[in-house]
Amino acid sequence: MKIESDASSAGGGGHTAAAAAARYDRIGVGYRQVRRPDPRLAALIASGLGDARTVVNVGAGAGSYEPEDREVTAVEPSQVMLDQHPGTRKVKASAEQLPFEDGAFDAAMAVMTVHHWPDPARGLAELRRVSRRQAVFTWDPSHSTELWLFEEYLPEIGKADRSAFTPLSVVTGALDAHTVLPFPVPHDFTDGFRAAFWRRPESYLDPAVRAASSTLARRPASAVEPGIARLRADLRSGAWQRRHADLLERESVDYGYRLVLAGS
């Protein structure tokens, strides 16, 4: 059964929520080809959901990391993303105004989405309202280790990303979280988000990879292409490989990704 609902422009902040949805309507095409769920992160999130049987996935996108052994309702403001979602219980709505009763779900999950919400604190409060347990996967912008792509080739974008990303303290505070688990990114991670290709630098040369990362896709080509051109030249000359020989020996790196758990 497909649940038909559209609350993406309702309530305060609706105009901004609509703008966020429109952005993913634009960059979401082909998303599933690059953003393939990684089983190691999937296992971590599934464990964070505990014994929950009913789950709401807020900011669900194309449905990555939704456990197959639970009853999942997907909430997403972008129609393009919902159209790529394989599930049957789908609601077009914003995180800030979830169209569900209090305590409607055993658990709520949100994966790399809180930073897109116009009002993160309100959205996280909604997660708490509709579920007894919450599992939120996010990135800590204050984490000291930065991806080389932003340190060396796109520093202005990296700086802007850190400023715009929801601080981890906001997430933990709004949820009254009891556990924060680190997730070091494996070198062969399959989900092409921000730091996924830290040991595969040639991947960032691919326009399809950049288009599936909101950090890069929402910037104009004039802000991205010069840095990518420098990366291409450094890969061709071997300069990148010499500078990052230590990375080529590592299995994973902690770039600040965290699973935040709250509730019971």
Q: Supply the pLDDT for residue 3.
A: 43
Residue 1: inside a domain: no
Q: Supply the pLDDT for residue 19.
A: 53
Q: Supply the pLDDT for residue 14.
A: 38
Q: Supply the pLDDT for residue 80.
A: 87
| 109-148: burial string, b at 16+ Cβ within 10 Å, e else | bbbbbbbbbbbbbbbbebbbebbebbbbbbbbbeeeebbb
Q: Supply the pLDDT for residue 4.
A: 40
Block residue for tokens 């010499």: 242
End-to-end CA distance of the chain: 29
Residue 88: inside a domain: yes
Query: What is the pLDDT averaged over residues 83-112?
Result: 96
Mean pLDDT of the chain: 90
Which is it for the CA torsion 24, 25, 27, 31, positive or negative? positive
Instruction: Return the SS3 of 207.
Output: helix
Mean pLDDT lowest among 103-107, 149-153, 211-215, 257-261: 211-215
Query: Which range of residues forms the domain containing residue 166?
Result: 6-263
Q: Supply the pLDDT for residue 18.
A: 58
Q: Give the C-alpha separation, 253 to 145, whole Å.
A: 9
Q: Give the C-alpha separation, 245 to 5, whole Å.
A: 51
Residue 154: inside a domain: yes
Does 164 score more than 60 pLDDT? yes
The HSE-up count of residue 82 (CA atoms within 13 Å, CB side) is: 23
Q: Supply the pLDDT for residue 189.
A: 97
**Higher pLDDT among residues 80 and 67, named by residue:** 67
Q: Supply the pLDDT for residue 47.
A: 97
**Higher pLDDT among residues 212 and 4, named by residue:** 212
Phi first, then psi, for residue 187 (nearest 5°) are: -65, -25
Question: Alpha carbon of 109 to those of 52, 121, 177, 194: distances in Å?
Answer: 11, 15, 13, 20
Q: Supply the pLDDT for residue 213.
A: 87
How many distinct structural domains can be found in the chain? 1
Residue 114: inside a domain: yes
Q: Supply the pLDDT for residue 34.
A: 62
Residue 73: inside a domain: yes
Does 122 score more than 70 pLDDT? yes
Residue 209: inside a domain: yes
Q: Supply the pLDDT for residue 128.
A: 98
CATH label of the domain that carries residue 125: 3.40.50.150
Per-residue pLDDT band for 17 (boundaries 50, 70, 90) equals low
C-beta separation of 140 from 254 below 8 A: no
Residue 225: inside a domain: yes
Does 52 score more than 90 pLDDT? yes
